Amino acid sequence: MSGRVIVVGSVNVDLVVTGERLPAPGETVTGGRFERFHGGKGGNQAVAAARLGAETWFVGAVGDDAFGAEARAALEAEGVRTEGLTMLADEATGIALILVDGRGENLISVAGGANLALSPEHVRAALDAIAPGDGDIVLVGHEIRTEAAREALWLARHGGAATVFNPAPVSDLDRRTFSLADHLTPNRGELTALVANDARSSGPPPAGADDPAVASARLIEATAAGSGVGSSVLVSLGAAGALLVERGRAPRSLPAAAVAAVDTVGAGDTLNGALAAGLAAGLPLEEAARRAVLAASLAVTRPGARAGMPSLGELERALATGA
């Protein structure tokens, strides 16, 4: 029997301008096309998991405004359970301003709003009601306050659920938080920053820490030394796919599918949601990770953080054809 995916994180409305190129500092670039999408890393990850067939719940916060009502409705339209989505009367719903160029590269600025007002108490109330347990996967992001993310990881761990932590942005994260994760999912830049953060409190980084395999092994070691029993780091590497470093096994490269990228916004969120969905379905870690990398490859072929996220049928067809 499959477990649930419970996502704790941010939900935003994305305001997107797509143009020929990204502006330099102080420069105005005209001729862009404007679109509005629903986003936030947490909301995106929940949608990615739900589209791949997982029973998905979302824990987060929105403001008492039109954007908040839209954000809730958009999640529910994807089949995501929103009983854990708190409405905060004195906060605005989070907004992301996104610029995308003709190659699919992007710049993003976020006003966190209600996401940053989500407290550990809000998280505890929501998770007490949802009651994550054995077989469930709790996927936690860091576009919320660190103490709220830590509370979610701690409650999930003590309820018997497995934890996935997407440490984006890295900011002030240290092993007090990431040691509560069974699986860490940084990109390469976030991995470097996490190792640097850990070195400030726990000694110098290992020789060769610019190698993702070495840096990931350091984080697994740090996790084992903390309060968790973390077993893996899945490092997303963009068009190169991902690197899976698992306790007690040799690192494995997971190549991405060769696709024409239209918009890379949401690729990492797709990977995280797909990984959680695979683990909740009972797949072995490596198989879940390979499926997640393929799902992320498919997601960049269409514009918008959520629009390109594949359905379970699309992913299965891509797997069958060897895409």
Question: Which of 19, 12, 23 lies closest to 104 in space, CA to CA?
Answer: 19
For residue 58, give the amino acid letter. F
Q: In the annotation, is 269 catalytic?
A: yes
CB count within 10 Å of CB 113 equals 24
Task: Give CA–CA dist 109/142, Å, rounded.
Answer: 15
Q: Is the peptide bond between 169 and the residue preceding it cis, with omega within 30 degrees of 0?
A: yes
Strand positions, DSSP E, 270-322? none
Place of tokens 């999912």: 185
Helices 312-321 + 285-299 axis angle, to 10 = 100
Calculated CA dihedral for residues 167, 67, 52, 315, nearest 10 degrees: -90
CB count within 10 Å of CB 283 equals 17
CB count within 10 Å of CB 180 equals 26
Place of tokens 């054995």: 134
Residue 60 β-bridge partners: 85
Task: Give CA–CA dist 52/277, Å, rounded.
Answer: 7
Task: Give CA–CA dist 79/289, Å, rounded.
Answer: 23
Catalytic residues: 269
